[in-house]
Chain A
Amino acid sequence: MSIGSPDSTVGIEDHPASAEPERAKGVAHGKSPTRIAMDRLRKDKVAIVCATIVVLFILVAVFAPLLVKLEGADIGTFNPDLVDAYGFPVNGPTPAHWFGVEPKTGRDNFARWVYGARPSLIIAFIATVSGTVIGVVMGLLAGFLGGWVDRIISWVIDFVLSLPYLLFAIAMVPIVEQLRGGSFNLTPAEQAQIRFFVLIFVLSFFGWAGLARIIRGEVLSLREREFVLAAKAIGVPTRQVLFKELLPNLVAPIVISASLALPAYVTAEAGLSFLGVGLIEPVPSWGQTIATATNWFKADPIYLWLPVLGITILVLALALLGDAVRDAFDPKTRR
């Protein structure tokens, strides 16, 4: 294959280096696709609002101890005086308990809500990052190296995608507990922590395969492109070709997949905790709270609404932001 097709002589003289088409006046020259996308994002009001919300949630999670201190409560203290003999909270929101207290235990709703943002976000972010890194590396290797590497990785991807993830999530917990010395030697806090890491592991383990498959496909089409061939021809080492030549061209699919994975993981964590196979007490989590609160929604609506709104707003913001990011990176969208 030659550099440039035979009929592409027009314009080559004007732009010998890049062969870029002529641009209208005022458009900056040589902007990278990422820059263009960022510019577009900045003009997208929805994206800005959503990003702000997400940042707010992150701030809430990061400063949870501070916020709770400000309120003057904490997540673990039982306040049975604040619930009546049947377990119903005696008063609604008070200055001491901004969002009221939990039925039965009288623990502070606000504190548990604020702390509940932590596991959701930590799990979603870690799982997304690790899932993305693994997925990208696997996809790059499979697509670029081809041959038996490709066959093995593709097989692994298919294998992972065929595993039932819910069953896997349930089965992992006792196995990991066993590896850590059996449930008899673990404190409740340690057991809760194990659940936390198992959840991260399960989500990233099942998250990378889909991305790897997309990346592999992209790489397959990219690796025959001129600039890659040229880099190979002048003896650029494989690693450099992968990460310097190919990776920048894959930013769009990666960012899109990551931004869509984030809200999915938030929901997955809440869903698994709701079902009782995710996080357990004493780690506060929205999913768990929803599971308990559904029985109390008539008596103590705020108890249910807090985590529900938390999850809904966070997931909605992340999803819309993901959409905006996808649009921004897609050269075909015109606004």
Chain B
Amino acid sequence: MQWKRITAVAATVMLAAVACGSPSSNSGSNNTGGGNVGGAQEKATDATAKGPAKPIEGAKSGGTITVLSDVTPDTFDPTDIYYVDGNQIGKLMYRALTQYKLDEKTGKPVLVPDLAEDLGTPSEDGLTWTFKLKQGIKYMDGTPVKAADYAYSIKRSFAHDLFSSGPTYQLQFFKDGGKYKGPYTQGGENYAGVETPDESTLIIHLDKKFNDLPYYAAFPMFTPIPQAKDTKKNYEQKPMATGPYQVESYTAGSQLKLTKNPNWDPNTDPVRYQYPDKFDFKFAQDTIKVQRQVLASAGPDASALNYSNLDVSLYPELKDPSQLVKGPGPCTITWPMDTRKIPIEVRKLIVKSFPFDSWRKVSGQAPDSSFPASTILPPAVPGYEKYELPGMNGLGKGAEDPAVAAEVKAELEKLGKSGFELSWYFSNDDPIATQVNQLRTQVYEKAGFKVKATGVPKAKIRTLTGDQNAPVNMGKTPAGWCSDWPSGTSWFPVLFKSDAIELGNSIGQLQDKALDAEIDRVADLDPNAQLKEWSKIDKKIMQDHLPLVPLYYSASAFPVGKNIGHAVNDMTQGMPEFTSLYLKQP
């Protein structure tokens, strides 16, 4: 279920076990069904959106919504949040400069201003961005939000030693990003990258052009934090809320209770609602147990939901289909191949031999929550264009078919690579990972490969596979990727450029100067012009470089209790949209 917790870049290590497949992460149903893979996000923005958000029909106020979660978000510090669940829960408490509003009908996200009046205005050279700030915003204790607080939270995000899980684009793109170490160091209060000439203006200076800054500004990292209230690592215990809810109590690792924020003004907020009185998040629960509870909806469980995908084994217990909320997710899951260690001809044979059909079943992929993948970009990201290279559509028997096995064997011999050794790690205390490993081993040995699979404890596998120079040639992490925002710029430059190896994000460890240059060229284009180009690069990488076996696109299919109203999937995160939930009978 790791991918549930990730958005991307710095947190790559966490992506690790993804491809080994955990059953609970990959199940569900798609409303469109079949080969049609959900609706794609379009890079749509609406700079004029105003609060209040249009009331939801039939919504009632009051009551407590309980979220029974098997996964535990690592942090709720706005600067440190990077995983999708932290992001989504954070949306209840923290308002940032911008935010995604889900289209009423299609569910597609539209980027709208949140605490900013607009979506930012870039200067001519694209290196200076100006955001106009809304006035009259208050924290939950009634104190007004100042422009300096926005500047401070940006400064705070540079203290990456302290907030090591947080997103890192500011280090790459903002002025002096590599040098500035945050407000806690000596002289740290002075940072040239951010300016607040008056109470309604925030100016951000960049080192490099960063067209996606308005998208980045939707991260909770950009919520205002008053310097006087900053308690560093303890800030998450009593954070200054600007959203409709505030922290009542937080016990790290087990429970987060939220209660209404009386100083939240719906007239300034185009996205959020405030229907339930309270939210009660309970973490580290047993997946199957809580999902069963939610499905049964007995007593208080009717007002509960779980945000992991429904375990396939529980499908027979799903009596009311409306209790399963479905929708596309922002991730593609792959099985990376180290291009430095495996020649391209052999990589093609590896893909050819891969037993997609069996793998999907053994690893517990439900057909309608995990769509067979043929591209790098998932359909939820603009720039996705469907194409299928021969034999690479995420389906097929691979070398389980004796004819294919014989063919691959012969071709390996022809290449002089008979008995080519494939090596990977798997966690030997996870029954599904061990079964997947047996399947792969059997199939690849049949196809004439030699397999060296190393079983390691689950607790260690992330560290091992996260090492880009690990002594294995398959399955290094990131094994999958989820977009930080709906654009190819959060995919290709991060994953496939040569410097990604050093940053620990490389899928396939590609080192190709020409490809680097091509990616850089496209990243500098106008956002709308990029769309077509990314899909070309997508295809080019798969055709000429083939650094991965494409497995599936993620999708959500999580169970909700019978009393929960307006449960929708937020496709930017693959999570429930918490801020618009209500209770049918509070």
A and B are interacting partners: yes
Task: Report A's interface with B, CB cutoff 8 A.
Answer: 76, 78, 80, 83, 85-88, 103-106, 174, 183-184, 186-188, 191, 276, 280-282, 288, 291-292, 295-296, 298-299
The residue in chain A whose Cβ has the minimal distance to the Cβ of B363 is A104
The reply on B358 being an interface residue by CB < 8 A is yes
Contact of A76 among B315, B432, B442 (CB under 8 A): B442
Q: How far is the CA of A281 from the CA of B432 in the complex (A)?
A: 10
List of A residues within 8 angstroms of B418 by Cβ? none
List of B residues within 8 angstroms of A105 by Cβ? 361-362, 435, 439
CB distance from A307 to the nearest CB of B (A): 14
| Cβ–Cβ contact B438 & A299, under 8 A | no
| Cβ–Cβ contact B455 & A80, under 8 A | no
Query: Can you give 10 contacting A-B residue pairs, CB < 8 Å?
Result: A80-B355, A80-B361, A86-B312, A106-B361, A280-B429, A282-B438, A291-B431, A295-B311, A295-B314, A298-B316
The residue in chain B whose Cβ has the minimal distance to the Cβ of A282 is B438
List of B residues within 8 angstroms of A106 by Cβ? 361
- Tell whether A187 pairs with B453 under 8 Å between CB atoms, given A86-B366, A281-B438: yes
List of B residues within 8 angstroms of A187 by Cβ? 453
| Cβ–Cβ contact A86 & B367, under 8 A | yes
The residue in chain A whose Cβ has the minimal distance to the Cβ of B437 is A188
Query: SS class of chain B's interface: helix, strand, loop or mixed?
Result: helix
Other than the given A80-B358, A83-B361, A183-B457, 14 more pairs (CB < 8 A) read A78-B439, A85-B360, A86-B27, A86-B315, A88-B315, A103-B313, A104-B312, A104-B362, A106-B361, A187-B453, A188-B426, A188-B441, A188-B455, A295-B314
CB distance from A332 to the nearest CB of B (A): 49
Contact of A104 among B364, B429, B438, B456 (CB under 8 A): B364
The reply on B280 being an interface residue by CB < 8 A is no
Contact of B317 among A78, A80, A103, A298 (CB under 8 A): A298
CB distance from B314 to the nearest CB of A (A): 8
Q: How far is the CA of A174 from the CA of B366 in the complex (A)?
A: 35
Candidate in B315, B360, B361, B437 with the most chain A CB atoms within 10 angstroms: B361
Q: How far is the CA of A295 from the CA of B27 in the complex (A)?
A: 14
Query: SS class of chain A's interface: helix, strand, loop or mixed?
Result: loop
- Tell whether A186 pairs with B435 under 8 Å between CB atoms, given A80-B358, A87-B313: no
Q: How far is the CA of A104 from the CA of B27 in the complex (A)?
A: 13
Candidate in A85, A106, A186 with the most chain B CB atoms within 10 angstroms: A85
The residue in chain B whose Cβ has the minimal distance to the Cβ of A79 is B358
Q: What 4 A-B pairs have minimum CB-CB distances, sorted nearest first? A: A80-B358, A281-B434, A85-B367, A295-B313
Q: How far is the CA of A83 from the CA of B23 in the complex (A)?
A: 15
List of A residues within 8 angstroms of B528 by Cβ? none
The residue in chain A whose Cβ has the minimal distance to the Cβ of B313 is A295
The reply on B288 being an interface residue by CB < 8 A is yes
| Cβ–Cβ contact B312 & A87, under 8 A | yes
List of B residues within 8 angstroms of A186 by Cβ? 454-455
The reply on B499 being an interface residue by CB < 8 A is no
| Cβ–Cβ contact B454 & A184, under 8 A | yes
Q: Within B406-463, which residues are at the interface with A (CB < 8 Å)? A: 426, 428-429, 431-432, 434-435, 437-439, 441-442, 453-457
| Cβ–Cβ contact A85 & B453, under 8 A | no
List of A residues within 8 angstroms of B434 by Cβ? 188, 280-282
Candidate in A85, A86, A282 with the most chain B CB atoms within 10 angstroms: A86
Candidate in B288, B311, B312, B316 with the most chain A CB atoms within 10 angstroms: B312
The reply on B74 being an interface residue by CB < 8 A is no
CB distance from B399 to the nearest CB of A (A): 13
| Cβ–Cβ contact B361 & A104, under 8 A | yes
Candidate in A88, A104, A295 with the most chain B CB atoms within 10 angstroms: A104
| Cβ–Cβ contact A288 & B358, under 8 A | no
Q: How far is the CA of A269 from the CA of B435 in the complex (A)?
A: 21
The reply on B236 being an interface residue by CB < 8 A is no
List of B residues within 8 angstroms of A104 by Cβ? 23, 312, 361-362, 364, 432, 435
CB distance from B553 to the nearest CB of A (A): 16
List of B residues within 8 angstroms of A291 by Cβ? 431
Q: How far is the CA of A87 from the CA of B364 in the complex (A)?
A: 7
| Cβ–Cβ contact B442 & A288, under 8 A | no
Q: How far is the CA of A103 from the CA of B366 in the complex (A)?
A: 13
Candidate in A78, A83, A103 with the most chain B CB atoms within 10 angstroms: A78
CB distance from A76 to the nearest CB of B (A): 7
User: Contact flags (1/0) for B14-27 with A, using CB distance below 8 Å?
Assistant: 00000000010001
List of A residues within 8 angstroms of B317 by Cβ? 298
Contact of A78 among B27, B366, B442, B454 (CB under 8 A): B442
Q: How far is the CA of A295 from the CA of B315 in the complex (A)?
A: 11
- Tell whether A188 pairs with B453 under 8 Å between CB atoms, given A85-B360, A105-B361, A295-B288: yes
CB distance from A286 to the nearest CB of B (A): 14
The residue in chain B whose Cβ has the minimal distance to the Cβ of A191 is B455
The residue in chain B whose Cβ has the minimal distance to the Cβ of A187 is B453
List of A residues within 8 angstroms of B195 by Cβ? none
User: Contact flags (1/0) for B309-323 with A, using CB distance below 8 Å?
Assistant: 001111111000000
User: Contact flags (1/0) for B278-315 with A, using CB distance below 8 Å?
Assistant: 00000000001000000000000000000000011111
- Tell whether A78 pairs with B358 under 8 Å between CB atoms, given A85-B367, A104-B364, A188-B455: yes
The reply on B516 being an interface residue by CB < 8 A is no
List of A residues within 8 angstroms of B358 by Cβ? 78, 80
The reply on B357 being an interface residue by CB < 8 A is yes
| Cβ–Cβ contact B431 & A288, under 8 A | yes
